[in-house]
Structure 1
């Protein structure tokens, strides 16, 4: 199966694109929407039946591994960097009902940043991820947060520090990350290890519970 990020870029590349940044972004968004509809059809879902959560952060922080572990797959120590976007979905029983959760793992490399707004659309919540052993991945969160706010507004979000199994290599400390989460109104800060499958579920469950409670408030 062709990766959705690759498919979106290929569709955009093969479509005449007018000059100008805005026109090019629109073409990429159109291509992504086509790809998204195709993906939903393949897994037998419709837009209204899926709770979409996007994972955002720098490349190599472990977004793919977190999505895999939460969706019941095995951790792969040789995981490759995401090209564009990857999808993972799982069904969980929460809030008295079964819900289908679609995790959108958005590639963190700068070359995929143009695609990110299209991939973010329709997200009910966001998981921001950084690597506690790489300070630059924490500093890059501001760029992702700004992008998310521009596309989605104030959707519920959590902050995740991955690679908690590497405490001896830590350069971003818990109190700093907790303050960041508080400052920007996130639901909390969670330290996890995709490798050890330590506390991976916690941030997702907290986020999903808030999204569902918000849905009920609007009902």
Structure 2
């Protein structure tokens, strides 16, 4: 302990739970832009198709709970399917994305959902996201139709715009809240292998004063206030009562 500076005690990315999410759906639906907007609070210009899988993370707060989200952005192209499916295992949440201006991306949702439920956690929480809500004049999938599909498949549903940032926070927070409710009800055990959730460590961590600068960019309190219109208290797990855009 002599190597540690007593004045260098800091709360470094402490959290109550760690949750694994997968972001899935057809290529071109804006999955990477949605994730970038959520993690960086900005639109990702000149986005290229994801090759295989890309990883991001963000820590969020729900009530008194701090939750670190592991976010696995998967490629939507068929040629990467065998690779990306291996990352589904042990996922607690799935953000299933389609493009409201592309009917084909909506019609293929069944395949994505079937794969996710077959390979991820048995308690997988799925949120269906209709992306590109800013392009209303090009819409090919009506909100009511997508809402019916969500209800029939027992998933949550809402629409977002990764361009404007409208409602982008909502699917990630809704998914986390649903997982927390499962933990509180006893139907999900974070200690169980493959649950997609593990307990975190909110104890104060001591770091060597010489390494403090390396953590200077880890600030979660400076993000501008979320513009999400979603009120999480209005949601009941397993329903799709959410025309929130």
Bin the TM-score by the shorter chain. Answer: 0.7 to 0.9
- Alignment-derived partner of residue 60 in structure 2: 92
1:217 paired with 2:185, answer yes
Contact 1:95–1:212, Cα closer than 8 Å, also in 2: no
Provide the secondary structure at the position in 1 that maps to 2:67: strand
Give the alignment of 1:63-102 within 5 angstroms. 63-102=31-70
- Alignment-derived partner of residue 115 in structure 1: 83
- Alignment-derived partner of residue 94 in structure 2: 126
In the superposition, relative to structure 1, how do residues 189 and 49 fare at CA in structure 2: closer, same or farther (>3 Å)?
closer
Number of equivalent positions: 173
1:58 paired with 2:58, answer no
CA RMSD, 1 decimal: 1.8
CA distance in 1, matches of 2:165, 2:25: 19
Contact 2:52–2:83, Cα closer than 8 Å, also in 1: yes
- Alignment-derived partner of residue 124 in structure 2: 155
CA distance in 1, matches of 2:83, 2:63: 33
1:116 Cα deviation from its structure 2 partner: 2.4
CA distance in 2, matches of 1:61, 1:205: 20
Greater Rg over alpha carbons, structure: 2
Provide the secondary structure at the position in 2 that maps to 1:114: helix
Contact 2:17–2:66, Cα closer than 8 Å, also in 1: no
Give the alignment of 1:1-219 within 5 angstroms. 50-152=18-120, 153-186=122-155, 188-218=156-186
1:73 Cα deviation from its structure 2 partner: 4.2
The one-character-per-residue Cα deviations of 1:18-70 (angstroms, maximum 9, x if unpaired) are xxxxxxxxxxxxxxxxxxxxxxxxxx99xx95211111100010111111111
Unaligned runs of 5+ in 2: 1-11, 190-245
Contact 1:164–1:191, Cα closer than 8 Å, also in 2: yes
Higher relative contact order (Cα pairs below 8 Å, separated by 6+ residues): 2
Higher helix share goes to which structure? Answer: 1
- Alignment-derived partner of residue 242 in structure 2: none
Contact 2:41–2:165, Cα closer than 8 Å, also in 1: no
